[in-house]
Structure 1
Amino acid sequence: MKNKIDFYKNLEPFLECKDFTVSSEIYQVQKNKAFDMLVTIPVPKNLEDYYKSEDYISHTDSKKSLFDKVYQAVKNITLKRKLKLMNSFNTSSKNILDVGAGTGDFLKVCANNSWNVFGTEPSKEARNIAQQKGITLQDDLSKFKNNKFDVITLWHVLEHVENLEEYIYQLNSLLKNDGRLIIAVPNHKSYDAKYYAAFWAAFDVPRHLWHFSQTSISKLFALVNLKVEKTIPMKFDAYYVSLLSEKYQSKKMKLISAFFRGFVSNYKAIATKEYSSLIYILKKV
């Protein structure tokens, strides 16, 4: 690796955000102008404790609340779309690595469609749920240091990574020369991010350590000579994030307001291309 980049250097104030999920603590979200990226400060030493909540839905298969039911319903639709995207790549060995695989649903769908599946997930509870579905997950990337993959996916994972630059180098080393890296992350340049500001649910401090723009992703992965080949909008995210944001802002379930804001965000993004979340497809230069 080249000289390590200090992403916390020369930051500018941006806004203050509250942890609405676990602690109710206040965090600073500051701007790194060089990478057009926002940074959460400080990073808790016991960061893993901030994931220990029934409200942290990606680590469970819960269908108790309305949010749970909406999340699970949308997940089933997006899984089909993700599989279609994977099958669009012309790969010989069909080896896929899903980083931060949660409870294993995406890899289960891939395995059922002739992919050789591998995955990581730091949460022991989520790994156990995945195992019940027949999907074995490792706790970190180091377990795959001698492997190469046709496709590596990170579905809303990169924003959680503590050692960002090191992780980018690791991902690049695991990717075949003709492989594809798929990154899905929230977009802090979207209309819903600007509208909800400190109440925007996708800031999700302190679990989200980084908040990316399209410029951020291009600049970060240029460090390892990976180039954005294509971006794909995640239109459902605007509605789901708006639903949570309305809850944080007004402490009420405001379905109509959330649907309206999600619609406006997607409509404005037709021109700006700044959707609430984006999928980036990257390849080696």
Structure 2
Amino acid sequence: MKELKKEKGLYKNLKPFLNCIDHTVSNESYEVMINEEYDMLITSPVPTNLENYYLSDSYISHTDSKKTLFDKVYQLVKNYTLKKKLKLINSFNTDEKTILDVGAGTGDFLNVCKNNSWKINGIEPSLKAREIASKKNIILKEDISEIKETKFDVITLWHVLEHIPNLIEYTQVLKELIKPNGVLIIAVPNYKSYDAKHYKEFWAAYDVPRHLWHFSKTSIEKIFSSVEMKVEKILPMKFDSFYVSLLSEKYKTRKSRPFHAFYRGLVSNIKAKRTKEYSSLIYILKNT
């Protein structure tokens, strides 16, 4: 086990928040600690062989599987959200329609972008996912360090930032890769949501130890203000509450309970209309 780089105060004055199990790979137990200053949660400890915790057919973002109910729901929702993501990036005034997708998975989002006249680049650490993407003629790089002397109109991280070990350093790298008038789009789970509070340690979006960080609006604003980037807008990802609740019900009860999950997802979205604390949030950031 290892502790992540202690920088920018993220590891100062941590307090226990809850204990979670890795339901996907190892069944190991992990502490989720709270940094009250940043209003964020941190997974501890972090395995030294963290890459091995992604080696599972159950880790769906690296596959195009449609075997199980969860797979089918995920793929169905993914196809809808791809259209929504494209509409979002098309809403920005861009110079050359250049985009970098970090954590591109099997390349579906970039494929949609490519088919709509965007000049695409992508990063994906998983060899398996890159191989699937290559069959769609989407060639992905393994690491962001391979992107040199290039700046982008739009950079996207769809449920990726929570996986990044060197968080503060990475935000600086992202800042340097964005054009002065460019846009950074970050989607992450929101541990302040109703479904997170309802399922507690069984909330699927904790996904320890793969999710190293668990963000709130305050933590995103503070972390990116340190690299002179400002949150311009926050958008909901309303489907996430249903999919996350579907998995959370399974973790909590060891049964597939789709009707219970749908109810909890619906309640989460209804409550979020008032609180704005949806299960997942999209942050639109720009240089200050």
Same fold, TM exceeding 0.5? yes
Equivalent residue runs for 1:1-285 within 5 Å:
4-285=7-288
Q: Name the TM-score, length of structure 2 as normaliser.
A: 0.97
Alignment-mate amino acid for residue 21 of structure 2: K
Q: What are structure 2's unaligned runs of at least 5 residues? A: 1-5
In structure 2, how many angstroms separate the alpha carbons of the residues matched to 1:143 and 1:168?
16
Question: Over residues 17-72 of structure 1, what are the superposed CA-to-partner deviations in whole Å (9 max), with x where a residue is unaligned?
Answer: 00000000000000011111000000000000000000000000000001000000
SS in 1 for 2:47: coil
Superimposed CA distance per residue, residues 171-204 of structure 1 (whole angstroms, 9 cap, x where no aligned partner): 0000000000000000000000000000000000
Q: Secondary structure of 2:260's match?
A: helix
Q: Distance in 2 between matches of 1:175 and 1:65?
A: 39
How far the C-alpha of 1:146 sits from its partner, in A, is 1.2
Q: Deviations over 1:80-115 (max 9, x none)?
A: 000000100111210000000000000000000000
- Give the 3-state SS of the residue equivalent to 2:239 in structure 1: helix
Supply the distance in 1 between the matched residues of 2:99 and 2:77 (Cα, whole angstroms): 23
SS for the counterpart of 2:96 is coil
Q: 1: distance between equivalents of 2:175 and 2:240?
A: 27
Q: Which residue of 1 aligns with 2:3?
A: none
CA-CA distance at 1:9 after TM superposition:
2.1
Q: Deviations over 1:217-255 (max 9, x none)?
A: 001000111111111100000000000000000000101
Distance apart, 1:10 and its partner CA = 1.1
SS in 2 for 1:29: strand
Q: Distance in 2 between matches of 1:255 and 1:60?
A: 22
1:149-175 superposed Cα distances (whole Å, 9 cap, x missing partner): 000000000000000000000000000
Once residues 286 and 8 of structure 2 are traced to their aligned partners in structure 1, the CA distance between those partners, rounded to angstroms, is 22
Letter matched to residue 12 of structure 2: K
Q: Secondary structure at the match of 2:121?
A: strand
Query: Structure 1 vs Structure 2: percent identity of aligned residues?
Result: 66
Look up the equivalent residue of 1:230 and give its one-letter code: K
- For structure 1, the residue ranges without an aligned partner over 5 or more in a row are none
When the two structures are superposed, what TM-score results if normalisation uses the length of structure 1? 0.98
1:6 positional shift? 4.1
Segments ≥4 residues shifted beyond 3 Å? none
Equivalents in 2 of 1:9, 1:190: separation in Å? Answer: 24
Q: Residues 207 and 255 from structure 1, CA distance in 2 versus in 1: closer, same or farther, beyond 3 angstroms? A: same
Query: Match of 1:245, as an amino acid?
Result: S
d(CA) in 1 for partners of 2:176 and 2:70? 37
